[in-house]
Amino acid sequence: MITLRDQRILVDGRPALVLSGEVHYFRVPRAEWEQRLDLLVEAGCTCVASYIPWLFHELPDGSLDLTGATRPERDLGAFVDLCAAKGLGFLARPGPFVMAELKNEGLPYRLYAEHPEIVPVGWDGAPAPTRTVDYGAPAFLAEVERWYAAVMPVLASRLQPAGGPVLAVQLDNEIGMLAWVSGSPDLTDHVVAELRRWCAERYGSGLAARYPGVGDGAAWARAVRSPQERWAAALRVDLGWFLRDRTARYVDVLAALARRHGVDGVPFLVNVHGTEGGNGVPFAIGISQLYRSYAGRPGFAAGSDHYLGDLSAGVLADLHLIGATMAAVNGPDQPLTSLEFEAGTGDYGGGLEQLHDPATVDLKTRLCLAQGHRLLNYYLLAGGTNPPLDEPVGDGDDRLGFTGERHGTAAPIGPRGERGLSFAPTAAVVHTARVHAPWLADLDEEHDDVAVGFWADAFATEAWYPGSATMRGVVDDLTAHRGPGPRKALWRSLLLAGYRFGATDLQDPDRPLPRTVALATGRVLDAAVQRRLADHVRDGGSLLLLGRLPQRDPEDRPCTVLADALGLAPGERVAEDGHHHPSLVGHGLAADLPETRVGWLDALTAPAGAEPLLTDVDGRLCGVTLAVGAGRAVVVTAELPALPELVTALLGWLGSPPGLALRTDVPGVLALTGARPGGGRLLHLLNPTGYAATVAVRVDGPPGLLDRPLRLPPRTGTMLALGLDLPGLGTVVASNAEVAAVEPDRVRFSPGLQDRTEVWLRTARPVEGPSVRTVDDLVVVTAPGGADLVVTFGAAPG
């Protein structure tokens, strides 16, 4: 039995860490399936994931082959059974959309020819530039039911609760992604009519005032597809909310169809898209589109889909943001997962344009595990070959995928089954995760009393009419300031200052806020969010606001609830240009800040009790500290760079000091901790930079062990056990070395991060090692620096 509880994946009642690799059976000759799975096992994975493409299994006459009658690779059940024979689980991804660089995103060509009404138009009635379809069109859903009726029984007979390998089923894939990347919403006649009914139910008699002069039918369609300026801002908001609800209904239909055909008792997964060109901030667009489909719903979990390239100190914040914002909307039982965890060298085009650092997969894996991910699916683990289409379409290659003959040239396992450049580093970190899996599966990320505010509506920007200056103005403001803020300075400052933090959903009134909410904002901020933040401060909470002082709501109406509560008003805006270079000087808590150049600032008018924090060199006030009611606030209205020391001072004044007190000589080092409910913790240290770092952190443990400086080599990470049990052996109270292997009577540790490898144990069994001594009730085992340490345990007394 598989259940989701307390942000964990429980397999037969025990927390499990699922380490999966994507292998496309349809791109690998059947005779080579076993060899690919053997390599996956060699890499340490415990599970296989694969898309199941409708396009591949449907024949030209419309019939479906899932038994291999027409091509051996179409025997889906045989592949899943082979996974089971290898002791592997299986994550099924049957679409109907699968993307996967397939023609039509994996949909049969027949659908477009037989059902032209499912093909959307967008703004001004222009044809959709992608191969998307109207997800809710009756004709499409009828075809999906036919597909599910064929594919789901193959999976149903192999579900884990019935003794099979199928651990979970993903419903569709990257829903709404095509509309986002193309900027063209799906506006078929069916969608437009449904939007009209939705608005009528929502606004009732107020609909006519919201859309003046707009009736039904063709007039409504024109009003939506080519909106006039007077209702453009309102339409953007309505369309975003409506499409969220519609997507949730679509997922409900898919889940019901899956259950109807026997798939029940395993989690349903929803894949969230959004990274773009190495930028993780747009990922939250996917959350905004999809969270109503899964958040807080029993039996559902979301998975991230991220492609960020090399993990530099800059990208570290982007990957951290992805996990934190997903967790912000998840329900209390829903775990973090990653359904497309970027693997390989990044050479997706086969032209040697990319060659990711081999440490990239190690660092990304470690960060996600530190944030509490319970499932990672390395995508793509094994490359392959796009087979020819059964019926040529004359598109230049007539193959299943649009990458040509070979697919997955960047993967750890190449298209011909060869070990690629990234195979060894991928296998190394997967094996490390396997060693720590009993702990990682049951750890909760620890946070200091601060979180970044997240509101999904700030990311509802996937659909805006290019002809509307109002829409563009709101979207540009949201895009420039949301999430980590301008220059990503808010998120990076918190990370580099050593804070352990997540995100908090400001649009969910039932979620308690931490002591301090840190928020990057522009002029646009939702009225309900403004009220909640104002109440939070007045009631004794703290607020760190970075960006512009909110003055408008998402419909571009005046809204100064928060500014009024703080007693602040915006003044002159000053921006850099070829002749002016604004620079700031600090006061009060920022008195030690050197003169700092910024891209822009908004002058502030502040109440008498506010204390100046920042001014420009000409004296314009753009940063203040102030007391409001029983709480405190810091407001900075300038484009700052990342300033960890300043943020630490500000959060300390706000009542949220860092818990670890990280000290390092290299900016960019990250420290996180996780704790088990029954006791014990893991300290995660990551150095994504190219510099050797000296690190010290304040944690509970034997006096001085981790207070003494640790040496963290460039581009490395480590997990250090603090009070974690070794079943049947004892407890690792503290160590300066990562556990490398656990065997029935011995434990091996990697070389320590100090002059010698040192492990403190609590055990009732006799211990052997290079050097063993007793301190009070603890056993201390050491080895010379640079060497592994092997601790051997004798028989237990009695």
Query: Which helix (H) or strand (E) segment is 288 a member of?
Result: helix 283-294
d(CA 99, CA 105): 4
Residue type, 118: I
Which of 744, 759, 752 shows the shortest CA–CA distance to 793? 744
d(CA 119, CA 135): 10
Q: Which residues pair with 444 in a beta bridge?
A: 675
Within 8 A by CB and 6+ apart from 130, the residues are 178, 179, 181, 182, 184
d(CA 162, CA 493): 49
> Where are the alpha helices (H) located in 505-621, listed in sequence order?
527-538, 561-566
d(CA 372, CA 151): 32
pLDDT attached to residue 683: 96
The pLDDT tens digits for 109-145 are: 999 999 999 999 999 999 999 999 999 999 999 999 9
pLDDT over threshold 90, residue 349 = no
Average pLDDT over residues 671-681: 94
Distance of CA 614 to the CA centre of its chain: 34
Strand locations in 493-556 (E): 502-505, 516-521, 542-547
Q: What pTM was computed for the model?
A: 0.97
pLDDT attached to residue 351: 81
pLDDT over threshold 80, residue 669 = yes
The pLDDT tens digits for 597-649 are: 999 999 999 999 999 999 999 999 999 999 999 999 999 999 999 999 999 99
Within 8 A by CB and 6+ apart from 657, the residues are 448, 648, 651
pLDDT over threshold 80, residue 702 = no
Angle at 169 between CA 167 and CA 170, to 5 degrees: 135
* pLDDT classification of 28: cutoffs 50, 70, 90: very high
The pLDDT tens digits for 496-553 are: 999 999 999 999 999 999 999 999 999 999 999 999 999 999 999 999 999 999 999 9
* pLDDT classification of 350: cutoffs 50, 70, 90: confident
Within 8 A by CB and 6+ apart from 134, the residues are 117, 118, 119, 120, 140, 186, 188, 190, 191
Work out the number of other CB atoms within 10 angstroms of the CB of residue 112: 14
What proportion of the chain, given as a percentage, has pLDDT over 90? 95
Give SS3 for 386.
Answer: coil
Residue type, 397: D
d(CA 317, CA 490): 10
Q: For all residues of the chain together, what is the average pLDDT? A: 96
* pLDDT classification of 384: cutoffs 50, 70, 90: very high
CB contact at 8 A, 341 and 368: yes
The pLDDT tens digits for 438-473 are: 999 999 999 999 999 999 999 999 999 999 999 999
Domains within the chain, CATH numbers bracketed: 2-182+245-445 (3.20.20.80), 450-653 (3.40.50.880), 663-793 (2.102.20.10)
pLDDT attached to residue 347: 85
